[in-house]
Amino acid sequence: MNNGKKATSIEGSTLQLSTKSLPSGRFGGGFDLTYMHRCIQLARNGQQNAQPNPMVGAVVVCEGRIIGEGYHVRCGEGHAEVNALTSVKKEDEHLLKDATIYVSLEPCSHYGKTPPCADLIISKGLKRCVVGCVDPFAKVQGRGIQKLRDAGIEVTVGVLEEECKNLNKRFMTFHRLKRPFISLKWAKTKDGVIGVKSEERRAKHDNLLISNTYTQMLCHKRRAEHQAILVGRRTLEMDAPSLNVRAWKGKNPQPVVLGKNVKDLPEGWWCFETIEKTLSALYERGIQTLLVEGGRETLQAFIDKDVWDEAYVETGEFSWAEMNREEGVEAVFAPTLKNAERVEDAWFMGHQIEQWRHLS
Ligand code: AOF
Ligand code: ZN
């Protein structure tokens, strides 16, 4: 890195984007951070409805006053910049030529469901644009920034960059790695058991129902936050899970089963023979997020191949040793995470949920 320039490489193309130190003075410097924080805060309002589009927030500022703000509310509708610029009052419109627009993601340069935001910013005559992070979407990838600079707008890139990328980590992973963002999930007893082996015992123990009403709600919320959900062939055949959203309100994810010669594939389910085939098929179908719910072999296969991003591990209040007074009931033990960092611990009515991140 030199001359304040940082080479940003996205899917093979290298862009020279200026990340020179933030302008000092009354309306630059620390204020850029403040307004970008506000963009992130606004963006989060789109959590439920913006997907599969990214969550984006925008703020229009002139002489230390916010004259407009907005966020991307719903996929197919106006982008954050459009909403922020339309919110500017008539009596403030003359200020736009001296104003700065802050956006958590690079303004788009393409015609998608809506026209390019970069063109709108240019046509409104703004003076400066502060961008959180580059858009990894193949049709944008720095072209929005370039368009603004070519039109003479001063552009600063990379304010709160990590936070802005992290906000849309699923969208980023999908476009960067050309596969869905993968979350793993399992629930275990205190002594690490996730299920029982024999069919008869599975029925008796309800295959070890570990979650309580509260953690079940969280589990269903998580399902609603993913576009597809996957189990292995054996789990489908033995448990016949519905994998839908019942204890929460939201859209059912697309059910997928991994395996060969799957018997009685339920209507509407997709089936793929390998993890690789699953991931490329989901990518081609525009599925950005995948939740893997089991069983042990399937989860371990994702871990061993190092293709996962997050894992949620619930530990119940009981141990299998206490529950299993009968002899001969074989237990299935939890998968073992590798290359993982624990990022969060939360407690819900005596149950612990650990959140792990894959170290890639
Ligand atoms: C922005 N501001 O608020 C968002 C952007 O089909 P469209 O027209 O909705 O375009 C979707 C793409 O636009 C999406 O994949 C991402 O690259 C970008 N999203 N861009 O300037 C926004 N949500
Ligand atoms: Zn846009």
- Please say if 81 is a catalytic residue: yes
CA dist., res. 232 & res. 223, Å (int)? 17
Residue 236, classified by CB atoms within 10 Å of its CB into exposed (0-12), middle (13-18) or buried (19+), is: buried
140 lines ligand 1 (CB under 6 A): yes
The whole-number pLDDT of residue 206 equals: 61
Tell me: the pLDDT tens digits for 303-315? 999 999 999 999 9
Of all atoms in ligand 1, which is nearest to the CA of residue 77? 9
Over residues 159-185, the mean pLDDT reads: 97
56 lines ligand 1 (CB under 6 A): yes
Of all atoms in ligand 1, which is nearest to the CA of residue 75? 9
Among 181-190, 238-247, 324-333, name the most confident range: 181-190
The whole-number pLDDT of residue 197 equals: 81
Comparing CA positions, the residue from 217, 349, 228, 360 lying closest to residue 289 is 228
Query: How many beta carbons lie within 10 A of that of residue 221, not counting itself?
Result: 14
- Asked, as a colleague might, if the bond just before 295 is cis with ω within 30 of 0, I would say yes
9 band by pLDDT with thresholds 50, 70 and 90:
very low
The whole-number pLDDT of residue 183 equals: 98
Tell me: the pLDDT tens digits for 13-65? 333 344 444 444 344 557 999 999 999 999 999 987 898 999 999 999 999 99
Residue 85, classified by CB atoms within 10 Å of its CB into exposed (0-12), middle (13-18) or buried (19+), is: buried
23 touches 156 (CB < 8 A): yes
77 touches 71 (CB < 8 A): no
Which pTM was predicted? 0.85
CA dist., res. 341 & res. 360, Å (int)? 10
Residue 289, pLDDT above cutoff 60: yes
Over residues 266-276, the mean pLDDT reads: 97
Token output for 153: 């707008």
Percent of the chain whose predicted confidence (pLDDT) is above 70:
88
- 3-state secondary structure (DSSP) of residue 342: strand
Over residues 92-111, the mean pLDDT reads: 97
The whole-number pLDDT of residue 31 equals: 93
Over residues 144-165, the mean pLDDT reads: 98
Over residues 142-149, the mean pLDDT reads: 98
- Indicate which residue of 81, 225, 293, 314 is catalytic: 81
Alpha-carbon distances, residue 205 vs 186, 208, 282, 326, 328 (angstroms) = 17, 5, 34, 12, 14
Q: List the shell of residues around ion ligand 2, using CB closer than 5 Å.
A: 79, 108, 117
Chain-centre distance for alpha carbon 213: 25
Residue 10, pLDDT above cutoff 50: no
CA dist., res. 237 & res. 262, Å (int)? 8
114 lines ligand 1 (CB under 6 A): yes
81 lines ligand 1 (CB under 6 A): yes
Partners of residue 181 on adjacent β-strands: 289
Chain-centre distance for alpha carbon 329: 39
Ligand 1: which of 87, 135, 145, 146 to mutate, most ligand atoms within 8 Å of CB? 135
Query: How many angstroms does the Cα of residue 146 sit away from the middle of ligand 2?
Result: 14
Measured torsion, CA atoms of residues 187, 54, 276, 340, in degrees rounded to the nearest 10: -50
The whole-number pLDDT of residue 201 equals: 63
Comparing CA positions, the residue from 53, 57, 76, 55 lying closest to residue 68 is 57
